[in-house]
Structure 1
Amino acid sequence: MKKTKLAKWMAQKHITIPEWLLAHYTELGLNEYELMALLHIQSFIDQGDDFLTPTQLSDRMTLNHEECTKVLSKLIRSQLLALEKKSDESGILYEAYSLEPLWMRIIELVDQKEYTASQVESVELEGKLYKQVEQEFGRPLSPIEAETLSMWIDQDQHKPELIYAALKEAVVSGKLNFRYIDRILFEWKKNGIKTTDQARAHSEKFRNQSQTRKPEKETVRTDHVPGFSWLEQS
């Protein structure tokens, strides 16, 4: 990954490399000396010198030449620093340091942290949803109901907040059963509903249309939403 591409990636994540390294360098197996060595290497590369010698590094640190040599060797063995062969315009070969391995490790760690956080949040939301459904039904869910709820999340990819919105819609309609909730979710997915605000607006639209179609003299029942049923929608 080129540095410009990495910079764009880091900008999308709203993090900067120095700040991230200072906060998480131990997760890369680095100590303070190795961290400073990497920062100095990057500084030299930014200035157009991509081969920092142990002597140059020692001049910037409290380590002597031999200690700096060991630090550089360890960084290469740890696959956080690479020593590459390059050639200049005249075709003369030379060695240069590359921090590409470091950038790749940072990306892996950041993505892993985000994925883990997302998993934890998903589990918490699902657990909360199960409790909310059981509270509305006033009883524990049956094995079949629990499996249906899991299928809505895992197979149908319905968001927990939308499932809960469909549950509340069923409560308002006076038809609290899984078949009715499933029909609501089906209609919402068919109509591209992805947020609770969109679901609320969609429901209000159908209610208004249903009320408009009913004759004025018809008596309206009060135990459910007037003249509206998700099961009657095509």
Structure 2
Amino acid sequence: MKKEQFISMQMEGSVSLPAVLLLNYPKLGLLEPEMILLLQVQLFIQQGNPFPTPDELSGRMSSSSPDCSMMLRGLIQRGFLKIEEQEVGYEKYTLEPLWDKLFRFLTVPEQQECEPEITDESLYTVFEQEFGRPLSPFECETLGIWMDQDHHDHEIIKAALRESVISGKLNFRYIDRILFEWKRKGIKTIEQAKQSSRQFRYAQGKSKPAADAASEPYQRKVPFYNWLEN
């Protein structure tokens, strides 16, 4: 490496990372790829590009452009990143929501000791704990769709997750089928789910013979399990 190249590299600048963020980002609900993405966004901003594209971000990461796009969307939905309009027709990213979350995390510790209200970030954490791994960008996007587009209540989403665990079918497709069936039946509360569960068990005793059931077309039927009685 020539001296001129080395000097040019140093002139590109650096990103200052607060130690308190590095120590606590998992508790905020951030995954490692998301943390790296936020740092890359910050570096782009410092270098005069306040609105880098997923392709530009992917060029500096091991994540693909579609993965970067989904992570950006998820970070915005969960309140870690925000898009602001700086001029007519021009937009920019700001990490102000991230610093706001970090400040509230550090200054309101008593909220962490009591049972918190279910927030977007804690819902992501619940899913990661049940799956025993970080969620993929696609899974994060699906969870965001359930909340933001389908408008499922957080408790109902948790209930569908719990039911999939009990059924031994822990995957997003099965959970989506449960939510679809509950929404079709107009179920919006845990009490309604309990009532539907009782009706299901009653109907089990009057079910059709197997030959008749096999001839019926598939209609995305999802059974209810006894966890509602626990």
TM-score in terms of structure 2 length: 0.40
> Which has the higher Rg, Structure 1 or Structure 2?
1
**Structure with more contact order per residue of length (Cα contacts < 8 Å, sep ≥ 6):** 2
